Homo-oligomer: A and B are copies of this chain.
Amino acid sequence: MSVTPSAPASRAAAKQADKPAKVRDASVTKSRILDCAIQEFADHGYDGARIERIVKQANVNVSLAYQYFGSKENLFITVMEQAYDLMRANHRDFDIRGLEPLQAMESLVRWTFRIFVKHPQLIGLLNSENLHRGKHIAKSTYIRNLYNPLLDTIAMVLKRGAEDKVFRDDVKAEDLFISMNGMGYFYLSNRYTLSVILGRDLMKPAAIQHHEEHIVQVLLGYLRP
């Protein structure tokens, strides 16, 4: 009798042919719940999200989610912390060493937009949280104390560019930070209401690509001395 690796003969596996044997590992299960929660909260917002759906997706039961996270609100706060971590990590990954100010800024603009394109959940989560006036993140000391690396990067590139006379020298990093994020965020977050007005699908790859070019042109145009 031989056992092929692709056909697990264990009894546990036999019981539920489609599902892999469930591992009893708290941290794995916990993060599985968290992942599903991110999706659910991003898709439906805080009020529209359903614990039931989250745990069904995560293949566990409701009680377990409560054992791990305590309450819906607490789960959401944890989700937001993950979201902020994700943004920060992405921003920190961006490396401008060895790039000319102009090149660096262009990359930065594209990069910032692409984070939102790549992680559309961020849009939904931030959207919902702003609807709630930021009351959930206000409860997270973790988020409140988070340092934002993007702002510094922008400031640094701005300074170099001004020194090299390729940028105007009266631009504030915070203003640029808001514009940079805003132009991409709005396009993605309001795509549904915009679609109705503009009568076309904004999520087609070509359309997204086009908007990225547009953002680059607007912001670099603004920076010209």
List residues of A whose CB falls within 8 A of some B CB: 44-48, 124, 126-134, 137-138, 143-144, 146, 148, 151, 174-175, 177-179, 181-183, 185-187, 189-198, 210-211, 214-215, 217-219, 221-224
Q: Are B178's CB and A187's CB within 8 A?
A: yes
Residues of B within 8 A of A178 (CB): 183, 186-187, 194, 211, 214
CB distance from A103 to the nearest CB of B (A): 19
Q: Are B218's CB and A179's CB within 8 A?
A: yes
Residue on B with the closest CB to A213?
B175
| With A131-B128, A182-B183, A182-B187: A198-B174 Cβ-Cβ less than 8 Å | yes
Residues of B within 8 A of A46 (CB): 48
| With A47-B47, A190-B126: A134-B195 Cβ-Cβ less than 8 Å | yes
Q: Are B193's CB and A129's CB within 8 A?
A: yes
Residue on B with the closest CB to A135?
B192
Contact among B124, B129, B196 with A143 in the assembled complex (CB-CB below 8 Å)? B196
Q: Are A134's CB and B47's CB within 8 A?
A: no
Residues of B within 8 A of A177 (CB): 198
Q: Are A192's CB and B127's CB within 8 A?
A: no
Q: In the assembly, what is the distance between CA of A40 and CA of B183, in Å?
A: 28
Contact among B185, B192, B222 with A217 in the assembled complex (CB-CB below 8 Å)? B222
